[in-house]
Amino acid sequence: MRIHLHLLLLAAFVVTGSHAAGQTRLLGADLSMLPVYEKAGAVYRDASGQTQADPLLFFRDKGGVRCVRLRLFVNPTGETGVVQDLDFVKTFARRIKAAGMKWMLDFHYSDTWADPSKQHLPQGWPTDPAGIEQTLCTYTAETLQSLVAEGAGPDYIQIGNEISYGLCDLKVNTGSDSNWSTFCSWLSAAARACREQCPDAKIIVHTERAGQWSTTRSFYERIASVDYDIIGLSYYPFWHNSLAVLSSTLTNLAATFPQKEVMIVEYAYNNAWTPGGATYDFSTQYPYTPDGQRAFTEALIAELRTHANVTGFFYWMPEENPAGNHVYEPWLNRGLFANGYASVGQANANCALPAFYSLSKFTEGQEDGVSAIGTDRRRRPAVYDLAGRTLTAHHHGIAVSQGHKAVMP
């Protein structure tokens, strides 16, 4: 007998409710430059202009941030933004732990920025595949041992940063079989070190093709042999397309990889001018102003809250604060503090922008931002087929609702 849609929805509520009881929504921020800004004398103020003595606690108490993401370079070059060596990370991680917050270690496995267009082998590392694999394992293990010894072991670990197309000079492409075996062996070596040194930490594999479902699906299918917990995505709308496209990717991830959590580990939106190299422009609806930044951020958060597989959301570099310093140039105007330019207003220089106070909406309805998701029974979940299409009441076969599969005979 065919099960009608309302019965499937009821079943989805029951399954989702029991599964979600152990799940949380985690709000985070990549604050990798905060100590540098502080050292340079940057001032952080709330919306009323009151100076904040400890910006980290301001992010925690007023922004709702519960997890800090920190990048780590092997031998940082010192160029803009590339200053986070192990000592830097240790010191900041201890401070984060003392504040009662979680933290995420972002291994770049590089001496400089690692992203889709560049994944460079660190200076002094071996160049043969076997030697690189062993070094990845040893470097990861020794780094984590050092952090644990300081009482600052990470809660989440990214084994690579935006590795959609490779790692340590090794290139992969989802349209070719070349190098994937080596790539997976390298990732597995890093993951083994994480499990051995920080068995309670969750491992993240981070890519940035959120706007291209076929590429994202193929990448994670090809690394099926790798031991990891969370699919990490970058989502910058001016590069990765609309919220509707992101929503489709998230829905398809739930259907295709139902055992994996998903986190948006990087997101930002500009507040003063169009970002360089932008592929997509949503400024008609969401202008590059503080209010436009807030509106897009709130729309994104509202969308993420409808996807039960999405358990984390991280704003990238909200601490950007160029008024009176030259810490990070060129200035990106994606941070959550006023810049002092006329477009924002000199009177509000260094004050928290509206989007800052919107962050906590991601965990709205949760006690202290860590309660279970998926228990609101007032809103019926959408039901999809395995291709991500919304189903009608007369569909039969396998269906997906909020990341869980069910059968409609």
Q: Which amino acids are annotated catalytic?
A: 162, 266
Q: Which two tokens stand for residue 324?
A: 């009176």
What is the spatial distance between Cα 27 and Cα 313, in angstroms, rounded to a whole number? 5
Residue pair 12/5 in contact (Cβ under 8 Å)? The answer is no
What is the spatial distance between Cα 84 and Cα 70, in angstroms, rounded to a whole number? 8
Residues 6+ apart with CB under 8 A from 177: none
Tell me how crowded residue 142 is: count the other CB atoms within 10 A of its CB.
13
What is the spatial distance between Cα 150 and Cα 402, in angstroms, rounded to a whole number? 40
- Helix extents (H) in 223-318: 237-240, 243-256, 290-304
- Taking every pair of Cα atoms in the chain, the longest distance, rounded to a whole number of angstroms, is 70
Show the CA angle centred on residue 61, arms to residues 46 and 151, nearest 5°: 125
What is the spatial distance between Cα 246 and Cα 184, in angstroms, rounded to a whole number? 26
What is the spatial distance between Cα 55 and Cα 60, in angstroms, rounded to a whole number? 9
Residue pair 363/25 in contact (Cβ under 8 Å)? The answer is yes
CA 231 to chain centre: 9
As a whole number of Å, the end-to-end CA separation of the chain is 6
Show the CA angle centred on residue 351, arms to residues 350 and 353, nearest 5°: 120
